[in-house]
Amino acid sequence: MEYTVIVFKAEEGGYWAKVPALPGCYSQGETMDETMQNIKEAIESHMAALVGDGQKVLQEPPSVIGRVEVGVG
């Protein structure tokens, strides 16, 4: 299963990440690699908790995330 992960630079240094398809699933790390490993573990833990609670783990629908540059008037 694959999930979209959005990574942000943290103000205090390092990075933090969230998984839009799994509300409440966040993690952080000092480097991008550490953050990606930590969010992978967070996703696995989040999914295990859902299953443990008898909830369904939803698959994320295919999506594309892009950026658009616009000028200010």
The residues spanned by each domain of the chain are 6-52
Dist. CA 54–CA 51, nearest whole Å: 5
Over pLDDT 70: what percentage of the chain?
Answer: 100
Identify whether the C-beta of residue 8 lies closer than 8 Å to the C-beta of residue 29: no
Going across the sheet that includes 26-29, the strands are 6-9, 15-18, 26-29
73 pLDDT above the threshold of 80: no
- Supply the pTM of this predicted model: 0.82
What integer pLDDT is reported at residue 53 of this predicted model? 94
Dihedral sign for Cα 31, 11, 19, 61, please: negative
